[in-house]
Structure 1
C-alpha cells in the first residue's frame, strides 16, 4: 500500500491565499460549529462569573484553592474567547495567515493543558487538605506552583507551533496539523492521549478514591450532594474527553496498519469529537467552585 500523504504543497497554499474567498460554506462544520457556539455563549460568562465569585469570597476558600481555581477559570476563558475564529474557519474558510494559525493553535493547547494540569493539581490539593487538614504554603510557594505549572504548559504545547500548517483542499484553506512522517504523527497522538487524558484521569481517580477511603466516615463524604459532585467531576471529564482520545487511538491504529479509509474516517470526525472537549471548559470552573464552597464547611482552611 502507498504511504499516507501528510505533506502539504506550499506553493498551492500561497497562491490560494491571494484568491477571493469562496461564497460557499461547509455544512460538515455545522455540528461542531453549533457545539462551539454554545460553549462560547455559556462558558465565557460562566468563567467570568467564577472569577468574580472567587474575588468576592476570599474567606470561604484556602488561599491555594482559590489560586488554583482562578487559574482554572482563566485557562478556560483563554480557550473559549478564541472560539469565534475557529467557528468561522469551520463553516467558511481560514482567512488569517500561517503565523496566526500557529499562534492561535498554540494558545488553544496552552489553555487546554493549563486547565487539565490545574484540575489535576486541585485533585491532589483537595486530598492533602482534607486528609492532612492543612497545607502550609506562603504566597511565594503558591506563585512558584503556578509559574511551574505554566512553564510545563508552554513546553508541552510547543508541538502545536511545529505541526500546524495552512492546508489547501480545492478552494478551501484550513489550519490543520501536518506531520512530516508516520513516526511523528503516531508519537504526537500517543503523547497527547497520555498527557491530556490517561495521566490526569488516573491521578484524579486515585486522589478521590484515596480521599474516600481516608475520610469516608466524615461529613465530607456523608453529604450525598458532595458525593454526587465529586463523582460528576470525574465522570464529566471522562465522558467529554474519551471520544476525542478514542479517535486518536484509532488514528494511530490506522497509521500503523496503513489503513487510509480508517484514517480518513478519523480525520473527518475529529472536529466533532474535538468540539465536545470544549464543553469541559464550561463546566470545570463551576463544578470546582461549587465543590470547594461545600467542602470548606467540613475542612479547615489552609
Structure 2
C-alpha cells in the first residue's frame, strides 16, 4: 500500500487513508479501546471529582477543563473509526468543523496540562498561590482562544478529496510554503508544551526531595509517569511534523513517505492520551499535595 504525498501530515489528523483498508485496522482498534475506556473515565471524574478535596479551586477548574477537553476529543472517535475503515461520507462542512473541533480539544488538553504543570511548579517551588477567581476565568478563556487560533488552519485547508476511489477528509495546500509553515507551527507548539511540562515537574520533584514529609516514592512515580506520557503522546507527532517539513523543503520524497507512514501509526496516541489523563491528573492528584507547613493545596 502507498500513501499519497499530498496527504495531510498534521497532528490530530485522524483520516490519513492508505489505499488498503486493513491498514486502518490498528488505529481503529486503538481508537475503539480509547473511546471505550476514556469516555467513562472522564465522565467519572466530572461526576465524582476524585481527590478534589485536596486541590485548590484553581487546580479544580484546570482539572475539569482538562477532562472536558479530553472528553470532547474522545466523543468524535466513532466517526474517525468509520472514516479509517471505509471512507469519509459526511461532507465538506463536517470535514472542516469536525477536524477543527478535534484540534481545539487536543490543543485545549495540551495547554491545560501545561498550565496545570506551571501552576503546581509556582506553588510548590516558589510558594505563589493564585486565588483570584476572575484571573482563573480569564486564563481559561485565553487558553481556549489560543486553541481556536491554532486550529483555524483546519477550517482553511481541509477539503474532501478522492484518492484511489476513496473519499477522504484531508488538508490541501496551495503551496509547499503553506504546508511547511503549518507543520512548523504545530511542531513548535508541541515541543513548547513538552519542555514546559518537563521543566515544571522536574523542578517540582527536586523540591519534593528536599521535604521529608512528602511521600517521595509515590510523587516520584507520578511525576515520572506524567513526563513519560507527555513524551510518548506529544513528541512523536511533532517530531515527524518537523521532519516532514524538512523533507518537503529538501524535496526528499523517500523521507516524506517515511514520515507519512510513521504519522499514520502514531496519530492514535493522542486518543490514548485523552484516555490516560484522568488517571494521571485526577485520580492521583493527592500524591502531589503537601502539608501546610510547606504549601497550601495545589
- Alignment match, 1:265: 258
Secondary structure of 1:93's counterpart equals coil
Secondary structure of 2:125's counterpart equals helix
Match of 2:124 among 120, 130, 152: 130
Q: Given the alignment of the two structures, is residue 300 of structure 1 paired with residue 296 of structure 2, yes or no?
A: yes
> Against the structure 1 CA distance between its residues 254 and 28, is the aligned structure 2 distance closer, same or farther, given a 3 Å change threshold?
same
TM-score by length of 2: 0.87
CA drift of 1:82 comes to: 0.2
Q: Which moved more, 1:109-118 or 1:176-185?
A: 176-185
- Alignment match, 1:10: none
CA drift of 1:258 comes to: 1.1
Do the aligned residues in 2 keep the contact of 1:226 with 1:291 (CA within 8 Å)? no
> Against the structure 1 CA distance between its residues 76 and 214, is the aligned structure 2 distance closer, same or farther, given a 3 Å change threshold?
same
CA drift of 1:118 comes to: 0.3
- Alignment match, 2:15: none
Match of 1:280 among 267, 270, 273: 273
- Alignment match, 1:247: 240
- Alignment match, 1:75: 69
- Alignment match, 1:166: 160
Do the aligned residues in 2 keep the contact of 1:244 with 1:273 (CA within 8 Å)? yes
Do the aligned residues in 2 keep the contact of 1:64 with 1:142 (CA within 8 Å)? yes
CA drift of 1:220 comes to: 6.7
- Cα distance in 2 for partners of 1:221, 1:185 equals 48
Count of matched residue positions in the alignment of Structure 1 and Structure 2: 281
Match of 1:50 among 27, 45, 63: 45
CA drift of 1:60 comes to: 2.4
Q: Given the alignment of the two structures, is residue 182 of structure 1 paired with residue 176 of structure 2, yes or no?
A: yes
- Alignment match, 1:150: 144
Where in structure 1 are there 5+ consecutive unaligned residues?
Answer: 8-23
Q: Which moved more, 1:97-106 or 1:179-188?
A: 179-188
Do the aligned residues in 2 keep the contact of 1:220 with 1:226 (CA within 8 Å)? no
Q: Given the alignment of the two structures, is residue 112 of structure 1 paired with residue 106 of structure 2, yes or no?
A: yes
- Cα distance in 1 for partners of 2:216, 2:122 equals 19
Do the aligned residues in 2 keep the contact of 1:134 with 1:300 (CA within 8 Å)? no
> Against the structure 1 CA distance between its residues 219 and 33, is the aligned structure 2 distance closer, same or farther, given a 3 Å change threshold?
farther
Q: Which moved more, 1:248-257 or 1:222-231?
A: 248-257
CA deviations on 1:22-54 (whole Å, 9 max, x unpaired) are xx9711101111111111111111111111232
RMSD: 2.2
- Alignment match, 2:249: 256
- Cα distance in 1 for partners of 2:213, 2:249 equals 47
Match of 1:29 among 20, 24, 32: 24
Secondary structure of 1:240's counterpart equals helix
Match of 1:101 among 82, 95, 101: 95
Secondary structure of 1:113's counterpart equals helix
Radius of gyration: which is bigger? 1
